[in-house]
A and B are shown apart, each in its own frame.
Chain A
Amino acid sequence: MKRAIELSINGDTYDVLVSPNNTLLEVLRDKLGLMGTKRGCDLGACGACTVLINGEAYLSCVMLAIDAGGKDILTIEGLAEGGELHPLQSSFVEKGGLQCGFCTPGMILTARAILNEEENPTEDVIKRKMAGNLCRCTGYKKVVEAVMSANESDENAGRPEGQEA
């Protein structure tokens, strides 16, 4: 049986009709056309589908859409405000923290969650917490550099809105 649920995504509210077994990824991509969230494996093993739920990183391909009801969902489309890139996004651009870009939305959102949780994470912490995000292009080095430099360049890079220092 399909069920109507309310999803709050990037600050907007969407009414969607979902089956109990629909994943959040299916709803984002296939029903709402939010294509920035990528499907790399559909099995919870690559991180390409990462979204933030109440500020924490989740794999949307292994999360049921109904479980996301009533929570704050942030996808890559909601990270930048206005025409400006979010500092993390700029840092990935500047540091060359991406090549094909398929893993990139997931990488950036995971990084955002890390910076939400922790002030000035060390390189080791970043590596450990990003270990679920696979990239086959970059060899990871410039991704780490991008996250480190976003943290340095903007004290507020990771803080949730309204909590800037």
Chain B
Amino acid sequence: MKKGLNIVGTRVPMLDAGLKVKGAAQFTDDLVLPGMLFGKILRSPLPHARILNIDTSRAEKLPGVRGVATGRDIPDRQYGIVPMAKDEYALAKDKVRYIGDDVAAVCAIDPEIAEEALELIDVDYEELAAVFDPREAIKEGAPVIHEGVKNNTSFAINKEFGDVARAFAESDAVFEDRFYSQAVNHAPLEPHAALAQFDPLNGDLTLWSSTQIPFFLRRNLSNTLQIPESKVRVIKPKVGGGFGQKIDMFAKDFCAAWFAIHLGKPVKFVYEREEVFISTRQRHPMYITVKTGVKKDGTILGQQFQAHADGGAYNSTAPTMIALSCFFLMIPYHIPNLIYEGCHIYTNKPVGGAMRGHGIPQARFAVERQLDMIAGRMGVDPVEIRIKNSIHAGQPHSAGFVINTCGFSESVTRAAESIGWQEKRGKLPLGRGVGLAGASFPSGVSNMSHISSGAVVQLGRDGAVNVLSGAADIGQGAETVISQIVAEELGVSLEDIRITAADTGITPLDPGTFGSGVTVRAGNAARLAAMSARNKLFEFIAEKLEANLADLVAENRNIFVKGSPEKGMTFSAALKAYQYADLPMPIVGRGSWMAPASEPTTLFKEDGNFAPSYSFMTQAAEVEVDLQTGRVKLLKMVTAHDCGTPINPMLVEGQLEGSVVGGMGQALYENVIVEKGQVMNPSFLDYGFPTFMEMPEIEAIEVETDDPIGPFGAKEAGEGTQLSPAPAIVNAVYDAIGVDFMELPITPEKILDALEAKK
């Protein structure tokens, strides 16, 4: 904990933990409104088909059914989280593009009747040729999934920094390797849900939704349903995890709102687990080729990176995802010459979206794997090659990133030490091994529009501090962290804070929970608001105490002159005095914050800084491979993370631990298996993400740096940690059995096949 701080830096429990352990925390599906109706969605059974006709008459006649909607009913406006990439309709217009696509919606007095009515909807399809492999979809003559999108390539990025051809010519060796990273489902425990209510008198629509992006959802609801944004209020109740899957909107949001408006009754949609697997989002499968030129000692001179992302049927975050894959090749290593080429390709499959790391885990898997392979080929130690190529704070960056603080090489050293690198690497018996991998992640982004947060802090007569923030807490503890920041700034106790967050009708604008920007962005906004409120109180107190405003401090519910604690008063006495001086209450402080965008750039075409700050991390794994069954056991994972100065170390640890276990799932178990467009394992049982039994020993090492931009020195925590567990584990498996795996996940079958082939 930093000197002079009382609340920031402490391991306080989440403010809403009490409600959560009592089962009293309200998630969207826990909300009940009088007269509420229930909705269900009819989904496409075909991967690619034209809709010739939909007959809803039989469904409409079923007793208990209150409404049926199809794409004809809802305005012809596409939605999407990235404005330039909107390509989805609330309900299909004339085509379906994957098995699970939204075709029609039913609203009834109970969910079973709605379900039954779905079977009474008759849809005539004309089946079209479908394509499931992005490497096929990109070819001339492949089925056209979206009219006008050539080669099914909805987005491509292609840029060179420096001179890669020359770098390769000057290299002692150039290696080219191919990798594949699979589809992973976020699988938040809470299924997606929405509840809408409409007031016909004043035209106000309220939507409660399990969302990470209330304000983007508001904008899309307004645009798609053609109602003014000022008439839409989105409220985010408790959200049961998101990991990026809820950085998007879905048919349930639009249909709940549409029915509520047209039927005049509240309407709730809750997705079943199978729908979460098939019809929401997943991590993009990606085919990657990396070509790297190095000097004898392992110094990287140049790199060429090509990625084909399998986007499934729609764009979702396509441009952002593929751009992130590429941009983050330039960090944490110094790559003086770089070409990246990435494209997002439509296929007739479930849709890719943002998932923890957002395009970067796939790239990291390829690059960190190849780095180990290069180290082996050149006879350099994997730890050494990483430290040698590490970027450093303050150094000029080849793409123009501004790195204020960087604990990367320290994170490599400490992770290696902690896993016992010297004693273990290459020295353990057959079947045991250690490996590591590094990464970097942004704390929010500085180069996009609309990425700013606001906060309001009110000091009332009752001594309570009221905070309004637009930040979307989805279980990571954003509300707690923001409250800690405000309490620290005001010198009050955490119990004095009352926070209301993420209600577009009440709280100030915030982009939402993505890109790991919440603590920095919303935290800074809240800090500014708190400072502004405090200074108003200080002005008055300074006069009263005949002191300089600059000499006042607020601490432990007291305000006093620095160095003379006797010269001061309690916080509540100060508020009372303020009120009795006939000054207007409440004292209101406002703050808005966005990352400095002095050189706004898209990075697609020009250089520039991408994020206000960057976190750095190294994961080191020790594994045991069962040579008989092919099962890999992750024995231990060390994660050394430079996340600046943690506001709440306990919550940061929780983020790191959860992220490591998620990364382990990506490495060893998880894979959304799709055959001819059909998801074959859309259930927890068949999908099989890690349970208590697979939990490794986890050691979290904080590499503290003091970032000048984040509130109290904080940076991103927890998302970046999911970037490199997979390559670290696969690198450790190489150490254990001497096999280089290039594709994820490494299942027992693959291990056994590889062991067999090695014989």
Contact = CB atoms under 8 A, between A and B. Distances in A.
Nearest to A128: B693
B21 A104 contact: yes
B21 A139 contact: no
B13 A96 contact: yes
Contacts of B654: 96, 99, 137-139, 142
Given A39-B191, A43-B684, A93-B17, A139 B23 contact: no
B685 A136 contact: no
Interface in B645-700: 650-651, 653-654, 657-662, 683-685, 689-693, 695, 698
A130 B18 CA distance: 22
B25 interface: yes
Contacts of A85: 18, 21-22
Interface bracket on B: 35 or more
Interface string A50-94: 000000000000000000000000011101100001000110111
Given A43-B685, A140-B692, A141-B695, A134 B22 contact: no
Nearest to A80: B22
Contacts of B734: none
A116 B11 CA distance: 30
Given A39-B29, A100-B239, A137 B658 contact: yes
A99 B21 contact: no
A90 B20 CA distance: 11
A41 B684 contact: yes
Nearest to A88: B21
A37 interface: yes
B566 interface: no
A132 B684 CA distance: 11
Given A100-B239, A102-B475, A136-B241, A38 B657 contact: no
B684 A134 contact: yes
B273 interface: yes
A98 B273 contact: no
Contacts of A139: 654, 657-662, 695, 698
B738 interface: no
Interface in B1-39: 11, 13-14, 16-27, 29-30, 32
A33 B18 CA distance: 20
Interface stretch (B182-190, B357-365, B547-555): B182-190
User: B186, B189, B683, B685: which has the most chain A beta carbons within 10 Å?
Assistant: B189
A81 to B, nearest CB: 12
A42 interface: yes
A42 B684 CA distance: 10
A134 B685 contact: no
Contact of B240 (A80, A102, A131): A102
Nearest to B476: A99
B238 A134 contact: no
A40 B191 contact: yes
Nearest to A142: B654
A105 interface: yes
Interface of A: 33, 35-43, 45-46, 48, 75-77, 79-80, 85, 89-90, 92-94, 96, 98-105, 108, 126-128, 130-144
Given A38-B27, A40-B191, A77-B23, 15 more contacts: A35-B30, A40-B190, A75-B23, A89-B18, A89-B21, A96-B14, A96-B653, A99-B476, A99-B658, A100-B238, A101-B20, A101-B25, A103-B240, A131-B691, A142-B654
